[in-house]
Amino acid sequence: MISGQLREALRAALKSRDKVAASALRSALAAIENAGAIDVPAARRGQAIEESPLGPGAAEAERRALTEADVARIVRAEIADRDLAVVAYQQAGHVERAARLRAEADVLRGHCYRLGHSRRQSSQTPRDPS
């Protein structure tokens, strides 16, 4: 499973103190977790305390089951978000921040490519000509 392999990669990045990879992988894993969340029905929101569920796990909600294709799509979206931000930062003159985001996108792109879920095999962001 992609998310399991990303978790393993995060552990390795943390162990090797690779801040760029750790940041990119944490963000991607958080996006995957957020996509699995389900909306709480309006009827359950804002209940009075006496109407609240009781007992261990009573307030837990089942997570949405994500397919491998869903997870790959989420990771590709994370890459695309970074690619867009790189361009914006470059245009604003924030070259260091753009370079960091490009490196994060490349980390995620590399994992997608290794896992066989890449539509793009190389960075699609324009490089700084200087």
pLDDT, position 64: 85
Q: What is the model's pTM?
A: 0.75
What's at 110, amino acid-wise?
A: G
pLDDT at residue 122 above 50? no
Q: What is the pLDDT of residues 27-84, one digit of tens each?
A: 999 999 999 988 766 555 566 666 666 666 666 677 888 999 999 999 999 999 999 9
pLDDT, position 94: 97
pLDDT at residue 120 above 50? no
In a domain, 44, yes or no: no
Q: Which of 111, 103, 94, 78 is nearest to 18 (CA)?
A: 103
Structural domains in the chain (count): 1
Q: Which of 9, 8, 23, 7 is nearest to 82 (CA)?
A: 23
DSSP string of 29-65, one letter each residue: HHHHHHHH--PPPTTTTT--GGGS--STTTT--PPPP
Show the 3-state SS of 72-121: HHHHHHHHHHHHHHHHHHHHCCCHHHHHHHHHHHHHHHHHHHHCCCCCCC
In a domain, 14, yes or no: yes
In a domain, 22, yes or no: yes
In a domain, 120, yes or no: yes
Range of the domain at 6: 1-36+66-130
How far is 69 from 117, CA to CA, in rounded Å? 8
In a domain, 58, yes or no: no
In a domain, 41, yes or no: no
In a domain, 61, yes or no: no
In a domain, 59, yes or no: no
Mean pLDDT of the 3-14 span: 95
pLDDT, position 101: 97
CATH number of the domain bearing residue 108 = 1.10.1510
Tally of CB atoms within 10 A around 71? 23
Q: Which of 24, 124, 108, 38 is nearest to 73 (CA)?
A: 108
Q: What is the pLDDT of residues 9-31, one digit of tens each?
A: 999 999 999 999 999 999 999 99
